[in-house]
Structure 1
Amino acid sequence: MISALPIELENSRVNLEGDSNVILKALFATAIRFHLPVAVWRLPNTSEIKLCVSLRPAQTSGDVPQLESGVSGFAFYPFQVSATYPAHFIKADITYSSLSAKLKFNFKLNENPEYVALVQRLQEYFEKIKGSAHTSNWHVSRKVKPYQTSEANFKHLVEESVAAIDAGQMEKVVLSRVRSTELTAGFDLMATYLRLQKTYPNAFVSLVSIPEMGTWMGASPEILVQVSKDRIFKTVALAGTQALTPDCNPAKALWQQKEIEEQSLVKRYILHCFKRIQLRDYTEIGPRTVVAGNLMHLRTDFTVDMKKEAFPMLGTHMLQLLHPTSAVCGMPKETAMEFIMQKEGYDRAYFSGFLGPVHIDGESNIYVNLRCSQLLEQVALTYAGAGITAESEPDKEWLETRLKMDTIRQVFQNSAL
């Protein structure tokens, strides 16, 4: 059995005994019931699932979060900040770790009397559903209607993009599309999330649900910015895609000029950002072939020891410079962005934005919001993009986006209770 949440004001940490998956479902369902922002995530190659809940509306700001210190929480930022899709920060008022089985109140209840009644109501509801938490509800955005990009329109846009590149208007542009999938009867969101994190142990697997803004779930392969506990900065250049098959694995992967050039453009942009802030001492490893779910990519890793460099805010500054990277936008950034906004035919919202825990347990891990779906009431909208260069072929780019979509769409199968 799960122990009750004690309300004694002097307690800030609580042990929750029982199955961690059952606890996660109950905590998530409680947050949804009381219209609170909630985020669930698991870092790559770890077994610990974390959850944070804010007892207030998610904060909105156009500024990127401060990664090196300050307020703890979960960042959820769109591809392009707008009045329709603002940037959000879910303050970690309450956190839970499946590894430690600890629920932590990151404030003093006696200093926040308005929270006392709310926490008591949360406790009562948690106790009521803890043994049979079926998370059939989630926050839904009323701004979004089911939509799907047609194959003909996407391929035509690839052709138009190649023509613009050949004309010298751009070096690269990243085109995306969206696919609509009906949810099965009895769809259980948290059960699907738990299946997703087991299926892709090497990915950053997240579930974010914010009142009015909606619910997103994904398994991203791409670090945008990381600041570790020991003050090591990390970012990656990830681009180029091919299917992972029994006959083609990282040891046998052969990359065409198109993929090599695409990855090189992302790498060049990171180096350009380093140059802008006059950072010269960094470690570069790659490019090398890495596996991400059912796909392989080319990846180059960049690290900086912030203890040895005079850049105490390196993570925050690089986040400002990098987003959106050429891996999700293109080069030159401004030209590619304008092309996307005019031609793509839909608003990406939080797809290809960034998300992740900020200053949780002393570190920040920000990922690009890729391989993701937005959950509406009865439909999942799945997003994927492909980098278009002068060598791009419409049929191949359509197939690449389909393979990327399959990363998350396959976990929706057999998702009924």
Structure 2
Amino acid sequence: MDGLACPVTVVVPTRDEERCLTRCLDSVIGRGFDNIVVVDTGSVDKTIEIVDKYTHHGVQLSQLPWPDSFGEMRNSAIEIVGSGWIVFLDADEWLDEHSSEQLRRHLASLTGTRNSDRLTLAPIIKHVGREVTIEDVPRIFKADSGIRYRGAVHEYPVLRGTIDEPVDLASLDVVFHHDGYDQAVVNEKSKRSRNLRLLNAARKDEPDNPRWLYFTVRDGLSTLDHAQLIDLCTALKDLSEQSPTTGDRLSARHYYRRALCIACQGLGTMGDWSTVHRFCEELDRIDQGNSPDAHYFRSVAELFNGVVTDSGLLRTIALRREDELLSASTIDPAGRHLDALIVAILRKIKSRSDAESYRALCEPWTDAFFQSSNLRTW
């Protein structure tokens, strides 16, 4: 098939996915893939009925008991596939109509290349309705390599050995669309409470793995209290100085930096601006004194406390032009958060018309402090 030296299998994990499974399967059947396997872990809705309607298209069903671990579920799917390229496509995702040919062509060119057995590929995942694109989540690799997943939730691939090693990662110009973060979907499937339960278990099993602390901050922000937020960030700081070996491509320092930004959002809404300023000092230390994210949180604090200056506006404009600095932003590498900041400062020290003129040129920004680039009032 198109010169492929090994087959390509699309794996779709499911559990109660009647809302979106048809769309997912329609995006991959008849697109030249060797196998399409739905791995179901206990659906009680119409998921299995939907799969049955696709068996004449070659879609296969494998049913497994839910192991209470996404990592174990994916590893079981890898064993089912056995060999060749495996492409994990979640049920709430669908392959862009132009991407199937690109995907098969890319895999054909990579088959047999040096170190392909430790290579993972990250498609472009576009989150519909959130204007967010993720390009660093590994989803594609060889099933007969030593790559397996680690973790009950927010699982990550490692090269299994006596000590797990980080995998190699390459970006792939192939688009997966995703709508699973739509708030109605999150609420219906109780994703947040499920994730936090699994993360608590992961933290007990691996207390020195910074990934589980970071995702606890991220997923639990709306439920964590003030002390819990600070304790988690403190623990991450300690781990960032120890550099534990977890087989993760990302370091404890990386997770600490990201957690600080998320914690600043939560602490700001709680009104604890003094801790926000302290965490901003940490961000500046990590980014060697020039963190656009630290500037963002300090400026938001000034806006809410009525202290806005021309120099603050000029500094924000200067940072907005620093593409290299912004590319490492945890908040938004596209710089929309700084655009919203410029709009708010213009409104305070210039005029509403100046602010609206600039806002019209920018993509809107929404977070804990802004709604469509308008500063929230509390």
TM-score, normalising length from structure 2? Answer: 0.25
- Answer 1 or 2: higher relative contact order, Cα 8 Å, separation at least 6: 1
TM-score, normalising length from structure 1? Answer: 0.24
More strand by share: 1
